[in-house]
Amino acid sequence: MRGDKDKIAALTERLAVIERARLKLYDLLPGLRADLDGSLSAAVLKKARDGLGDDSTEPVEIDVSDVLAEVRAAFAATGPDESLTKRVSEQRPTKPEQAKECRDLIDELANARARRTNAEDLRTGFPRDPQVPFDDVASYFQRLDLALEPLQDAEKKLPPWAVQLRVSLRDEATLRTRVIAACGDALASWKRAKAEPGADRERLSQRLSALAAGKVRALELFPDAAADLDRVVPAADLDAGNAELAQAAGRQRWFATSRDLIARIEALRTIAEWRAAGAQLSTDLAASDQGAAVFAGDAEVQREQKRIAEARGRWEQADAKVKDVAAKIAAADLGGADTIVRAGGFGNEGKEEIRILGEAAVHCRAAFDALDQRLDVAAAVKSLADAKAVLAPVVVLAPAVDQRIATWSARLDALQQAASGMVVIPAGRVRQAAGRVDSFFLSPTEVTHGEFVKFLGELKAAVKGIDDPAKKLAAVEARLPGVGMTADALEVVLGMDPRQVNPRMPADRLTWYAAAAFAAWYGRALPKGEEWALAAFGDGNKQKYPFGAPWDSPQRDMVFAARSLALVDEAGLSWRAAEGAPIHHLAGNVAEWLAAPPDSPTAAVAGGKFNDAEPKARDAAEGTFVPADKSDGRLGFGARTMLRPRTFPGLDWPR
């Protein structure tokens, strides 16, 4: 019997070894637990254990509760020693519940040993040289806690032996000292790096942030180290460092912004681009100026600010010059525009726009030179068309110039229409004037009866239904500029009832008011005395008579001392006919009213009339002007109209 019991005990011990090995594999290879259960399940082991206990001898009750209590007390105090496992495994309780308790305790001991081994293995990762921001220390502590966490009870408390193990493995006294030293070293290293020329401010900022975070982490890890940490890393040093780095970062941002501004300004090619970007640039430039104020006294910032100001100033000056040139042209001051363009003094900014405006002004000047020198309306119209074409690329910058050219073009069209059928009288000098007489257009004939009747009809239609003479004058006064028309004089004109004659006969019995009103109504004027003389005798009074022949020559072909008037376009040809200007009856037929100041009660007539006899007729043909009251509408008083381009309504002759 004794031999059988020994064998059973040996088998029981071997079975216990197998169970412990199985538990160890459970802990080490959690992914293979299913395979372990399949190969060697707990049920199989239990059945084997139960079989060993099945003998034919009479059972003896064995109580191991005291042993188990002792083992548990030792387990809690000193940990899962192998001797404890051996002692439990040697027990042969007869009570099933104690047998199960033994097995469970063996499992607990095996599990605890595995957890202890895992924790002790972490010692190889002990942070011997902790580095800011101490992620290595925090990670080490965390891994220790995770390794020991399965040993916690329901109240999340570790057994005493595990607490002692945790304290031993953390070795906080050593790490606390090293962490404090690392903080001090990090601050000293940062200060040295900051003092180096060309230090990377971004890198310095990162290191200082890491140091601040490390100090916070150190306080979390070692709450009792606050005083020591404040000693090696004073808060004042961190604040000062952050302030300095913040200023340096702000300075770096300002330079980046300023360089972007300069690049944007230098990338501009036209005034149009400058104006398009103007609002945003102004905002950004103001922000740049405000930002630079923070760095007062910083020479490099001041130099950069000066670069920005110079780049900005060049475009502002160019824009101002473009506006100035455009304003001069728009105000018909071509001379002023030319002066600005010729003065130069501008760089590449706006150079092309100013050149274009200057070229447009040259074409405009050419237009009026063509008018002034040759009365060549067609050439003037073409020059203005050229000016408009030249202006096209910059028209958006100078709409007022485009409008000015359009207005000039429209008025030239009106001038061309008003001058239709008239002849050109080139500029010259005559003894009747002290200086040069500008060129002008002159009607080749006197005002015809038909033309005057048409005018009277239009004038009467304009005042139809108005009884008050003053209101009649107000209704038509705008179309009678420079006439000085009075209500009484207008009543006389409106009361005229021309006799029925051939429409090609000259308008006769005209008062000065009637003649001046007719001319003004159609945008024309009466000629001045010197203008009439230039037309009649030529530059320098080279002709003695308008017909260009001696007084007693048959070529005078004129009507003096006649019984009646002649048709306006028959006979009486001027010497200018040989030059392509067929002017009729500058002498004879009707005496022609001349221009006079509006407030003067008198005016003069020129050329003599059909019923003048010698010597009066001869004097008139030689250029003697006969004064008369403006209200005088005697037989033989008529008119001839002319156009002065310089004073043509709305043409606004440029300076």
> What's the pLDDT tens digit per position in 60-105?
678 888 888 999 898 888 889 999 999 888 888 888 898 898 999 8
**What pLDDT does 562 receive?**
62
pLDDT band at 27 (very low <50, low <70, confident <90, very high): low
Contacting residues for 552 by C-beta, under 8 A, at least 6 apart: none
pLDDT band at 292 (very low <50, low <70, confident <90, very high): confident
**What pLDDT does 554 receive?**
64
Name the residue with tokens 């109209």.
641
**What pLDDT does 372 receive?**
85
653 lies in a domain?
Answer: no
* pLDDT tens-digit series, residues 393-421: 999 989 999 999 999 999 999 888 888 89
**What pLDDT does 375 receive?**
86
Mean pLDDT of 511-526: 95
* One domain for residues 217 and 108: no
Domain final position from 215, 233, 251: 233
Pairing state between β 637-638 and 591-593: parallel
**What pLDDT does 1 receive?**
46
568 lies in a domain?
Answer: yes
Residue 391 to residue 379: CA distance in whole angstroms: 18
SS3 state at 193: helix
Residue 364 to residue 351: CA distance in whole angstroms: 20
* pLDDT greater at residue 534 or residue 580: 534
652 lies in a domain?
Answer: no
Which stretches within 465-528 are classed as H helix? 469-476, 487-494, 512-521
- Using the 8-state DSSP alphabet, how is residue 601 labeled? S
* pLDDT tens-digit series, residues 361-375: 999 999 999 988 888
**What pLDDT does 30 receive?**
66
Provide the residue count of the chain. Answer: 655
Domain final position from 418, 449, 466: 418
pLDDT band at 474 (very low <50, low <70, confident <90, very high): very high
Find the CATH number of the domain harbouring 457.
3.90.1580.10
Give the chain's mean pLDDT: 88
The token pair that represents 418 in the structure block: 């008003």
**What pLDDT does 325 receive?**
93
* One domain for residues 493 and 373: no
* One domain for residues 429 and 573: yes
655 lies in a domain?
Answer: no
Mean pLDDT of 541-565: 75
* pLDDT greater at residue 435 or residue 500: 435
Residue 606 to residue 534: CA distance in whole angstroms: 12
Q: What is the pTM of this model?
A: 0.62
**What pLDDT does 164 receive?**
93
Residue 172 to residue 29: CA distance in whole angstroms: 32
Residue 14 to residue 20: CA distance in whole angstroms: 10
Mean pLDDT of 541-568: 77
* pLDDT tens-digit series, residues 249-291: 787 888 898 889 889 888 888 888 888 887 888 888 888 888 8
Closest CA to 418 of 394, 438, 437, 442: 442
**Is the preceding omega at residue 615 within 30 degrees of 0, hence cis?**
yes
121 lies in a domain?
Answer: yes
- Give me the residues paired with residue 643 across strands: 441
* One domain for residues 114 and 194: no
* One domain for residues 412 and 289: yes
Identify whether the C-beta of residue 505 lies closer than 8 Å to the C-beta of residue 453. no
pLDDT band at 534 (very low <50, low <70, confident <90, very high): very high
Q: Taking 50 as the threshold, does the pLDDT of residue 642 lie above it?
A: yes
50-54, 258-262, 294-298, 534-538: range with lowest mean pLDDT = 50-54
**What pLDDT does 560 receive?**
62
Contacting residues for 149 by C-beta, under 8 A, at least 6 apart: none
* One domain for residues 144 and 120: no
What percentage of the chain reaches a pLDDT higher than 90?
Answer: 49
Closest CA to 652 of 371, 359, 441, 378: 371
> Sheet of 626-629: strands edge to edge?
626-629, 602-606, 591-593, 637-638
Pairing state between β 602-606 and 642-643: unpaired
SS3 state at 598: coil
* One domain for residues 158 and 78: no
pLDDT band at 53 (very low <50, low <70, confident <90, very high): low
* One domain for residues 163 and 193: yes
101 lies in a domain?
Answer: yes
* One domain for residues 388 and 493: no
Identify whether the C-beta of residue 346 lies closer than 8 Å to the C-beta of residue 318. yes
Boundaries of domain holding 6: 2-125
Q: Taking 50 as the threshold, does the pLDDT of residue 310 lie above it?
A: yes
What interhelical angle do 2-28 and 82-89 show, nearest 10? Answer: 140
Q: Taking 90 as the threshold, does the pLDDT of residue 26 lie above it?
A: no
The token pair that represents 195 in the structure block: 């003092």
Mean pLDDT of 431-439: 90
35 lies in a domain?
Answer: yes
The token pair that represents 308 in the structure block: 């920005």
Residue 546 to residue 617: CA distance in whole angstroms: 12
31 Rama sector, left if φ>0, alpha if ψ -120 to 50, beta otherwise: alpha
* pLDDT tens-digit series, residues 141-169: 999 999 999 988 889 999 999 999 999 99
Q: Taking 80 as the threshold, does the pLDDT of residue 557 lie above it?
A: no
Mean pLDDT of 476-502: 92
26-40, 150-164, 291-305, 480-494: range with lowest mean pLDDT = 26-40
CB count within 10 Å of CB 324 equals 15
**Is the preceding omega at residue 597 within 30 degrees of 0, hence cis?**
no
Pairing state between β 626-629 and 423-425: unpaired
359 Rama sector, left if φ>0, alpha if ψ -120 to 50, beta otherwise: alpha
Q: Taking 90 as the threshold, does the pLDDT of residue 452 lie above it?
A: yes
Domain final position from 84, 101, 125: 125
* pLDDT tens-digit series, residues 186-213: 989 988 988 888 888 888 888 888 889 9
Name the residue with tokens 């009288």.
425
Identify whether the C-beta of residue 638 lies closer than 8 Å to the C-beta of residue 526. no
602: enclosing H helix or E strand:
strand 602-606
* One domain for residues 68 and 146: no
* pLDDT tens-digit series, residues 173-183: 899 999 999 99
**What pLDDT does 57 receive?**
46
**What pLDDT does 506 receive?**
95
Residue 182 to residue 621: CA distance in whole angstroms: 122
**What pLDDT does 269 receive?**
87
How many domains in the chain? Answer: 4
Residue 654 to residue 646: CA distance in whole angstroms: 9
**What pLDDT does 181 receive?**
92
Q: Taking 90 as the threshold, does the pLDDT of residue 563 lie above it?
A: no
27-41, 197-211, 336-350, 638-652: range with lowest mean pLDDT = 27-41
State how far the alpha carbon of 554 is from the alpha carbons of 533, 547, 548, 551, 623, in Å. Answer: 22, 10, 11, 8, 20
Q: Taking 50 as the threshold, does the pLDDT of residue 56 lie above it?
A: no
* One domain for residues 281 and 403: yes
654 lies in a domain?
Answer: no
What interhelical angle do 351-374 and 377-391 show, nearest 10? Answer: 170
* One domain for residues 374 and 393: yes
Closest CA to 546 of 505, 578, 516: 578
Name the residue with tokens 């082991």.
45
Name the residue with tokens 């009646």.
564
